[in-house]
Amino acid sequence: MRTQANFTSTVACLWVSALLASLVGGCRCDALHESPDLTVFAASSLTEAFQDLERAFESANEGVDVSLAFGGSQILRLQIEQGAPADVFASADEGHVAALQQAGLMPKSEVFAHNELAVIVPSSNPAKIESFADLPRAGRVVLGAPTVPVGRYTRELLRRAADSYGPDFQSGVLGHVVSEEGNVRLVRAKVELGEADAAVVYRTDVTPYSRVRIVPIPAVLNVRADYHIGMIERSAHPELAGRWIAYVQSEEGQGILAQHGFVTE
């Protein structure tokens, strides 16, 4: 089991070792003997669910070491395009997976879970936002950037809301945006820190430990987020990558995702 920080350190060490070896003919690095068996890149909204999947998968596959790297799907896709050593990619939307497929970097992908959006406000709710219709009242709104899946879904939500509440709703919300973040956890953090009156995140990002309140979005307006997973073409461990993907889609794996609020039907 490895954290993203450890994984990054290992990659850096490998590069340094290769450089020194070319200069002095033989420097070794302990990280060369600690490479994970499987490296999974996953959208940040999957953090807790995939950490539980990791523990269960390693328990069922003795001796296997899984490294999880979390971030915005757009950043992970860029890293894969630039040669990052990933075996599996789990994205919060289809667009970034499709780009990898078009580039010949991912043979295929499958939908393995779904999510929905939610408006969150600080526990003290200073802007007094009690319903989704109140959202333009927020003086400081934080959204995901347009290239981030949650940001793209949010803008689709606002377009739908404009049809129901009028164009002033959409412009009122967008006119109060003070920050656009690179992943959904950064969006949530702005509200937790009191730096925003409201934000839009995934429903699964609101946990018992989140210092926020949820404001429901009418079902007729909400947007469903589809999560895609696939093996990277240059995976160094294709058999193990296939087993991970199969486990995520298994009854046990789907149960773990459901425990974290994901829709798996």
pLDDT tens digit sequence for 132-164:
999 999 999 999 999 999 999 999 999 999 999
Per-residue pLDDT of 163-202, as tens digits, reads 999 999 999 999 999 999 999 999 999 999 999 999 999 9
Confidence of residue 233 (pLDDT cuts 50, 70, 90): very high
| Per-residue pLDDT, 2 | 55
For the purposes of burial, counting CB atoms within 10 Å of the CB of 237, is it exposed (0-12), middle (13-18) or buried (19 or more)?
A: middle
Confidence of residue 34 (pLDDT cuts 50, 70, 90): low
Six-digit token string for 62:
């003795």
Contact between 89 and 41 under an 8 Å Cβ cutoff? The reply is yes
| Per-residue pLDDT, 35 | 57
**Interval 236-262 mean pLDDT:** 97
The domain made up of 115-224 has a fold known as D-Maltodextrin-Binding Protein; domain 2 (3.40.190)
Report d(CA 231, CA 122) in Å as an integer.
39
Report d(CA 220, CA 224) in Å as an integer.
11
Whether the domain at 4-113+226-259 and the domain at 115-224 fall into the same CATH topology: yes
| Per-residue pLDDT, 1 | 62
Per-residue pLDDT of 62-118, as tens digits, reads 999 999 999 999 999 999 999 999 999 999 999 999 999 999 999 999 999 999 999
Which amino acid, one-letter code, is at 3? T
Is residue 16 predicted with pLDDT exceeding 60?
no
| Per-residue pLDDT, 22 | 35
Report d(CA 194, CA 53) in Å as an integer.
32
Confidence of residue 21 (pLDDT cuts 50, 70, 90): very low
Confidence of residue 208 (pLDDT cuts 50, 70, 90): confident
Task: Write the DSSP assignment of 138-174 as a string of letters.
Answer: -SSEEEE-TTSHHHHHHHHHHHHHHHHH-HHHHHHHH
Biggest CA–CA distance in the chain, Å, is 69
Which CA distances in Å does 241 have to 56, 101, 212? 15, 17, 36
Six-digit token string for 44:
């940040």
Confidence of residue 265 (pLDDT cuts 50, 70, 90): confident
Break the chain into its structural domains and give their ranges: 4-113+226-259, 115-224
Q: What CATH number matches the domain at 4-113+226-259, 3.40.640.10, 1.10.510.10, 2.30.40.10, 3.40.190.10?
A: 3.40.190.10
Average pLDDT, the chain: 88
Backbone angles phi, psi at 119, to 5 degrees: -90, 135
**Interval 235-262 mean pLDDT:** 97
**Interval 191-220 mean pLDDT:** 94
What value, to the nearest 5°, has the Cα angle with vertex 2 and ends 52 and 29?
Answer: 165
| Per-residue pLDDT, 209 | 81
Contact between 101 and 109 under an 8 Å Cβ cutoff? The reply is yes
Tokens 């990052």 -> residue: 84
